[in-house]
Amino acid sequence: MIAIPLARYRFECLTTRDIVFNEFSGSDLRSIFGSSLRTLSCVTNMSQCEGCPVQADCPYGKLFSNKTDRATQSDSNQTTLNPYIIEPPEWGVQLLKKGETWSFHLILMGATESLLPLIILAWKRGLEQGLGKKSAGRATLLKVMHCQADGNEALVLDPVENLIRPHEPTLYLDRTPNASIKSVTLNLLTPTRLQFRGHVLTPRSVKPRDMVEILTRRVRLLFPQQMDNLFHDKDHEEMAKIDGIRTEGQLEFCDWKRYSASQRREMNLGGLMGQWTWFGDVQPFMTLLKLGEWLHVGKNVTFGMGQYRMEVMK
């Protein structure tokens, strides 16, 4: 077993005023989370975080100051990643009616777990203050659950108690080989934007090697201490097997746009969606792919892009 400092939480909410999301709700959720967390964290009242004398110790800075979640691609020279991921409601959901109960997930990595009480408070206030188009929607946080690898959940926050219950924020991965695996299907649930040398990969151009190399770089940056136990990207014999994998897929390129306030322009953020099946000797890459179900892969993963689930055939 390999222990990874990683935890997924499910935030259950109740809509109190109709919420109309923009094209991808993950972007809206990240906006309210960042704004609320910055309000709770900032002690200097500076208009920008750059140059702040306490940025290194600021909760907001620890989650949002890194600039690398856009990439983790082969043409990136950045060395740190934002240690959180928001998994929004199912792709395509844009309207949540008053009285409707719904959920989203938040993944925290490493030392950010110590910030959980403040993070929960930031979400609670952000949901109450407004989200979606024109910030007109409202929601109440009902409870927070810890999602375990076996599919079970444990209560972390009950509004009645208003206390964080003890839990183990660790993901355990089993590296035991399973020679009976014949194929694995990756169900790409949100746009997965993979790039190679500055070019966005399409359903016709993407290869398993691209996925493995991009995901390996992401793991190395997030969990350098566990990297040697997870996957040896310098092992040429193992990497050679990736080129022998055959694929079949029902992939499509799903395009969408988001306005970036920081860059003051509209950005194209499309990516691959659909089913992608790998046939052959996939066993050497299964641990990495399992971890990728939690970490996502590609660009803009912090607000939910690059999410996939696996189906294994034996």
Pairwise CA distance, residues 253 & 191, whole Å: 8
Q: Which domain holds residue 147?
A: 2-171
* C-beta atoms surrounding 205 within 10 Å: 11
Pairwise CA distance, residues 110 & 114, whole Å: 9
pLDDT at 70: 44
Pairwise CA distance, residues 196 & 144, whole Å: 38
CA distances from 197 to 76, 194, 212, 239, 300 (A): 9, 10, 15, 19, 17
Domain shared by 196 and 117, yes or no: no
Domain harbouring 256, CATH code: 3.30.70.1900
Q: Which of 298, 296, 231, 201 is nearest to 309 (CA)?
A: 296
Contact 13, 101 (CB under 8 A): yes
Residue 48, both tokens: 């920008």
Domain harbouring 104, CATH code: 3.30.70.1890
Domain's final residue, options 153, 171, 189: 171
Domain shared by 211 and 111, yes or no: no
Domain shared by 144 and 35, yes or no: yes
Domain shared by 222 and 160, yes or no: no
Domain shared by 245 and 154, yes or no: no
Domain shared by 186 and 71, yes or no: no
Domain shared by 90 and 141, yes or no: yes
Domain shared by 136 and 224, yes or no: no
Domain shared by 209 and 296, yes or no: yes
Residue 74, both tokens: 């082969």
* C-beta atoms surrounding 186 within 10 Å: 25
Domain shared by 103 and 228, yes or no: no
- Spell out the per-residue pLDDT of the chain, length 314, in tens: 889 999 999 999 999 999 999 888 999 999 999 999 999 999 888 888 888 888 888 999 889 876 544 444 444 444 578 999 999 999 888 899 999 999 999 999 988 989 999 999 999 999 999 999 888 999 999 999 999 988 899 999 987 778 889 999 999 988 777 878 889 999 999 999 999 888 999 999 999 999 999 998 999 899 887 766 666 554 556 777 888 899 998 999 998 877 666 666 677 789 999 999 999 989 889 989 999 999 999 999 999 999 999 999 87
Total structural domains within the chain: 2
Would you say the C-alpha torsion 284, 110, 153, 297 has a positive or negative sign? negative
Segment holding 290, helix H or strand E: helix 286-295
pLDDT at 124: 96
pLDDT at 301: 95
Query: Residue 89 forms beta bridges with which residues?
Result: none
Domain shared by 129 and 72, yes or no: yes
Segment holding 238, helix H or strand E: helix 236-242
Domain shared by 157 and 197, yes or no: no
Pairwise CA distance, residues 6 & 152, whole Å: 16
